[in-house]
Amino acid sequence: MSETTDQTVVETPEGAGKPDMIVLEGVEKIYPGSTQPAVSQLDMAIPQGEIVMLIGPSGCGKTTTLKMINRLIEPTAGRILLDGKDVTHVNGDQLRREIGYVIQQGGLFPHFSIADNIGVVPKMLGWDKQRIRQRADELLHLVGLEPSTFRDRYPRQLSGGQQQRVGVARALAADPPVMLMDEPFGAIDPITRDRLQDEFLDIQRTVGKTIAFVTHDLQEAVKLGDKIAVFATGRLEQYDSPDTVLTQPANDFVSDFVGGGAAVRRLSLLELAHLELHPVETDEKAAGSRNGTPVVEVDGSGKPVSWRHLPGGDAAGTAMVTVPISGTVYDAVDVMLDGCASLVAVVDEEGRAQGVLHWNDLVGGLRTRKGHA
Amino acid sequence: MNFLDYLVTNSQQILFLTQAHFLVVLIAVGIGSAISVVLGLAVSSGEPDPRRFSWDWFATGIREGGLVFTAALLTVPSLALFALFLPFTGLGVTTAVVVLTIYTLYTVLRNTVAGLTTVDRAVLESARGLGYGRLRRLLTIQLPLAWPVILNGIRVTTLISISIAVVGAVVQGPGLGILLLNGISRIGAANSFYQVLAGTLLCLVVAAVFEIFFAIVQRLTIPRGIRV
Amino acid sequence: MSTATQGTVNTQAEASVEEVEGKQQSRLAALWMQHYDLVILPLIIVLVLGLLLLYVGSRDLDTIEERVLAADNVGGLLVQHIWLAAISTVLVLVIAVPLGIVLSRRGARRAQGPVLAIGGFAQALPPFGVLLLMAFWLNFGFWTAVIGLTLAALLPVLRNTVVGLQQVDQSLIEAARGMGMTSRQTLFRVEIPLAVPVIVAGLRVALVLNVGTATLASYIGAGGLGELVQQALRLNRINVLLVAGGVIAALALLIDWLAGVAERVVVARSG
């Protein structure tokens, strides 16, 4: 297989510089008894360390595509390359042990303890017991579950969200470079799902895996994806960054699928940290500078509690709402609507005001800071 | 002489027949369950691919055919089956064990197939996704998860076997049926009624012993994570 | 409309045409898949009886064997056997089904658990023993056997009925009550119709049990095909033994088959 091991970087507009970890070449799947291909002539490359979201209406072939990467479904035609190596015909079971896999209902083995569930793949790979136990604890820690509490429990003693965390830990156990996720947060209530998504991004920042992620939730795709692949009846309609998919849909299908509200969805792509915010003053200095800058009243720890002065506004009659700077414009709009306020104070991790975002900024144009395109 | 006196006076014979009854059921259920579980494991693979000829075709055929056939055997009255086997296996223990074994097949096979095929699909898919091969999946995931259902099938078939074993006395099979046949042939004679009564009631005692036995086996063999 | 979208619409239309054709084929296939066992059983019966005839036909029967296997002897015992099973099954139904319904009423629910537990355990109570005890209590004869058969089948069928009524979807009952049906209306219009399949299954169980236990009725002088087996054992005639076993087996299989067909018809009707 030496001729295939040195796969060169495929030219992609954004993945330049990063080698492709997963490459699908002319991959096709026709299910027995069907004349219509479920996936037809698919070419796709996923650069190392990126999260690619596969999205589309049900029956569009996104799940089939995902399952062909670890050959749970055998492709009818085409080639699959993992890290430059052709894996189209290697032993499927061996291959799958080197690829993390997370599914919707968690799929934890009910008769295995949590630690044993996480240790499933390492055990097959012949790790010694001590190392497996250490790894399980390490991963439980990573996914935010206290090892001493959860190690010896059984899946049914855990909530859906906790089970899904264990599912992610299990997929990470043997430290595979690639992870496949099939609607992992699909069956979880919205609040927990949101938290799991945040944690998932945190984990990804530490582990830097190459991830293919199937979802039917556009919100999720936009939030988690470095790229989004939109599928329609077995074909890849658009494969681009979330921003591009939302603002420049490749065709009618994609724009129909993205649907109305693309502009609103895009707000969640704009991180407050990257925006040029209006300055804000705290009251110590404010006495001298009663100009156009809003002034906030702070408590003992420096957290804003109310508005002292609003240029051209009623400071006493305006509710004080805050949003963390780690959030997005979407979050800022959410708090403003919720608090019936026309402006919001953006605060840092200690809760100190860093700047102000006005309702008018949304329609007047948001300015990003230099260095952030 | 009242019933209690009868029991005490004949305790040695009664105890012997009760033990024999217990053992013949135990042996038959043991053999039958072993056959059914192994057969169930072998034939409970997936649905056959209509385009490609594979073991799944045979498996599905054996499974469905086997279930229909053993179910039909279960509806055959025990006296008929004892009569049909007598010329081949002779009077005594062998015929009793063979016939009883045949009656245990359906229930255990049905429960084995049902237990193995109703294992949560998500669990099986994630096992496959993590690199579990077919045999490993069958033995370390499906079998332990199906075990409570299989064990319950064995339990039910044991209870049924206890009452069938009684008829085995007709072909001189061992067990409490001997008390029944003795009693009815001596009807009117002393203690004949007590003999029949003791034979009938002691079947319930044997059943109770088996129930305790199965409660312990359940406790010991069902994995902790899925114990109800 | 872009070409991509049009393409999608076209292929979907094609797919749905195929689907309709496929469905007609698969309906026949599904019918076969669901009911093929109904074809297998008569084949087994014919095979058993055929082998038996072949075997017996190839043998020279002595006079004793000929007397026992004469058509009027076997036929008479067969008719007796069918009456035993039929009457006791009707009795079981008349007693066990209403009792099961009463047990499913609110006031009697508490008795359900014990009934189910005892019913399960009673599987180990040998029908043979029940039959013989009846003979001691009453006397030898046909009606004693009928009572014994009825008693032996009562608990299994009662258990089936109670389980069947328990399995009726509680939300349907709630919906019926919510529409203003009285508890009596709910029972007759919702619960019983929905439980019919399980009650019919219970009937089948009773029938099979009674056909089986009726073979033992000959031991208390009530006749039936068990008489053939007894005679064969007494006379030590293997040919008679095989014929007796074969006829009994064939009868039981046939009756179970008929009950199975009836069951599917009823279940299909009640949706």
Calpha distance B76→B167 (Å, rounded): 13
Place of tokens 């003979």: C135
**A59: phi > 0 → left, psi -120 to 50 → alpha, else beta; which?**
left
A8 touching chain C per CB within 8 A: no
| B7: contact with C, CB 8 A cutoff | no
- Neighbouring-strand partners of residue A328: A271
Residue C33 inside a domain? The answer is no
Which residues, other chains included, contact A55 with Cβ-Cβ below 8 Å and sequence gap of 6+? A62, A214, A215, A216, A217, A218, A221, A228, A229, A230, A231, A257
Given pLDDT bands bounded at 50, 70 and 90, which one contains residue A283? Answer: low
Instruction: Identify whether C2 is part of a domain.
Output: no
SS3 (DSSP) at A145? coil
Give the chain C residue nearest A60 (alpha carbons).
C8
* Dihedral angle of Cα B7, B8, B12, B17, to the nearest 10 degrees: 20
- Per-residue tens of pLDDT for chain C, all 271 residues: 333 333 333 444 444 444 555 556 677 777 777 777 677 778 878 887 888 888 877 877 777 777 777 778 888 899 999 999 999 999 998 888 888 878 877 667 777 778 778 877 777 789 999 999 988 888 888 898 999 999 888 888 888 788 877 776 677 777 777 787 877 787 777 777 777 777 787 788 888 889 999 999 999 888 889 999 988 888 888 888 888 898 899 999 999 888 888 888 877 776 5
Q: Which pLDDT value is given to residue A1?
A: 37
Q: Which domain covers residue C233, as residue numbers?
A: 63-269
Widest distance between CA atoms in chain B: 75
Domain endpoint, select from A267, A292, A318: A267
Report the pLDDT value the prediction gives residue C7, as an integer from 0 to 100. 38
Tell me which residue range forms the domain holding A284: 272-364
Q: What is the pLDDT of residues B8-58, one digit of tens each?
A: 888 899 999 999 999 999 999 999 999 999 999 988 876 656 666 677 778
pLDDT at A15 over 70: no
More confident residue, A269 or B35: B35
- How high is the pLDDT of residue A181? 93
Whether the pLDDT of residue A372 is over 50: the answer is: no
- The confidence score (pLDDT) of residue C49 equals 83
Question: What's the CATH superfamily of B3-226?
Answer: MetI-like (1.10.3720.10)
Task: Say yes or no: A207 and A339 in one domain.
Answer: no
Best A31, A36, A60 residue to mutate vs chain C (most C CBs within 10 Å): A36
ipTM of the complex, rounded to two decimals: 0.86
Is 80 exceeded by the pLDDT of residue A263?
Answer: no
Do β-strands A343-347 and A353-358 pair in parallel, antiparallel, or remain unpaired?
antiparallel
A105 to chain B nearest CA, in Å? 6
Contact (CB<8Å) A72/B129: yes
C7 to chain A: closest CA residue: A233
Computed on alpha carbons and rounded to an integer, the radius of gyration of chain B in Å comes to 21
Q: How large is the average pLDDT for residues B199-222?
A: 93
Q: Please report which helix (H) or strand (E) contains residue A238, including its range.
A: strand A235-240
Domain count, chain A: 2
Q: Which residues contact B139 (CB under 8 A, 6 or more apart)?
A: none
Chain C residues near residue B76 by CB distance under 8 angstroms = 212, 248-249, 252-253
> What CATH number has the domain bearing residue C168?
1.10.3720.10
User: What dihedral angle (degrees, nearest 10) is formed by the CA atoms of A353, A356, A359, A360?
Assistant: 180
Q: Does any CB of chain A come closer than 8 Å to the CB of residue B96?
A: no
Spatial neighbors of C54 by CB under 8 A, at least 6 apart, are none
Q: Residue C46's pLDDT is what?
A: 86
Query: CB-based contact (8 Å) between A58 and chain C?
Result: no
Q: Please count the other Cβ atoms lying within 10 Å of the Cβ belonging to residue A179.
A: 21
Residue A200: which CATH number? 3.40.50.300
Does A280 share its domain with A255? no
C-alpha distances out from residue A164 to A139, A161, A208, Å:
13, 5, 19
In the listed set A224, A242, A267, which residue is the last one of a domain according to the structure? Answer: A267
- Is the same domain home to A247 and A289? no
Q: Are residues A218 and A70 in the same domain?
A: yes
Mean pLDDT score of chain B, rounded to an integer? 89
Let me know: does A42 contact A229? Beta carbons within 8 Å: no
- pTM score of the predicted model: 0.78
- Model confidence at B224, pLDDT cuts 50, 70, 90, reads confident
